[in-house]
Amino acid sequence: IIELLYGGAKGGAKSYTGCNWEIEMCGTYPGVNYFVARKELNDLRKYTLPSFIEVFEKNNLKFDDYCKFNGQDSIINFYNGSKIHMIACKHLPSDPMFERFGSIQMTGGWLEEASEIPVDAKVNLLASIGRWKNLDYKIPRKLLYTANPKKNFLKSEFVNPLKQNKLDKDKAYIQAFVYDNLPYIGQDYVNNLEKLTGINRQRLLKGDWDYENDPTNLISYDSILNLYTNDYVKGGDKY
């Protein structure tokens, strides 16, 4: 498996899982390069960095005993030479194809809140992994996606093909629910999710990727996406 989507409902330990994986890899293999990417760099610093620190604390370890955060370059530097780079995937008019990621050489990576990340950014970051010390340590290249349901490339590349038994052999999807995270998450948090209604309940509690933005839509969003790929329209012109 090269690409792994882990997600669905809120509270399923998505961020903790991503942080734990990268810490274990960087702590085990000296000199490797991993990245965590999100739309906004500030969100990584405010919300994801504390999750990295939490993983150390949950294991009765001190963050500063093993690594140091370089705020200027937004890199977690491990004392064995390994690094976790924080990467912003915000769309820039000067770089619409995200070619700025073309020269990056990474061992592996993680797209946090991947539903916010443009597909072109994903494509370029996927091409960056497997390029740094993978052969030295025999580490398979791996890209982790964590996300809540959204109708974008995650649904069309992972969720829909899995339902149709057509998922590529190098991809996998693991559904996450808040109930899977008990008792490590507070019951009050679960109770708040259970009070959600409508689309928010479908997405954030049930982890449903087939939620409808508008029940009055004449054509479903998936059908629109499949206009040029469906195989059930026989003959005729396509526009």
pLDDT at 231 over 70: no
> In angstroms, rounded to a whole number, what is the distance separating the alpha carbons of residues 204 and 1?
26
pLDDT at 233 over 80: no
Least confident of 33-42, 94-103, 165-174, 213-222: 213-222
Per residue in 159-172, pLDDT (tens digit) is 999 999 999 999 99
Q: How confident is the model at residue 199 (pLDDT cuts 50, 70, 90)?
A: confident
* Contact criterion met (CB below 8 Å) for 44 and 112: yes
Q: How confident is the model at residue 219 (pLDDT cuts 50, 70, 90)?
A: confident
Token pair belonging to 69: 């955060």
Sheet with 108-112: strands ordered across: 67-70, 75-78, 83-88, 33-38, 108-112, 143-147, 3-8, 171-176
Query: Of 25, 5, 7, which is closest to residue 140 (Cα–Cα)?
Result: 25
- Stretch 42-65: mean pLDDT, rounded? 97
Tell me, what's the pLDDT at 198? Answer: 85
> In angstroms, rounded to a whole number, what is the distance separating the alpha carbons of residues 8 and 117?
16
**For the chain, what is the mean pLDDT?**
92
Q: How confident is the model at residue 136 (pLDDT cuts 50, 70, 90)?
A: very high
Strand partners, 77: 68, 83
Per residue in 174-194, pLDDT (tens digit) is 999 999 999 899 999 999 999
**φ and ψ at residue 229, rounded to 5 degrees:** -120, -10
pLDDT > 90: percent of the chain: 81
For 149-165, letters b (16+ CB in 10 Å) and e give bbbbbbbebbbbebeee
> In angstroms, rounded to a whole number, what is the distance separating the alpha carbons of residues 100 and 95?
7
- Stretch 74-86: mean pLDDT, rounded? 98
pLDDT at 117 over 70: yes
Contacts of 40 (CB under 8 A, 6+ apart): 88, 90
Token pair belonging to 44: 């990584």
pLDDT > 70: percent of the chain: 92
Contacts of 41 (CB under 8 A, 6+ apart): 74, 86, 87, 88, 90
> In angstroms, rounded to a whole number, what is the distance separating the alpha carbons of residues 77 and 105?
16
Per residue in 8-48, pLDDT (tens digit) is 899 999 999 999 999 999 999 999 999 999 999 999 999 99
Q: How confident is the model at residue 218 (pLDDT cuts 50, 70, 90)?
A: confident
* Contact criterion met (CB below 8 Å) for 186 and 179: no
pLDDT at 222 over 70: no
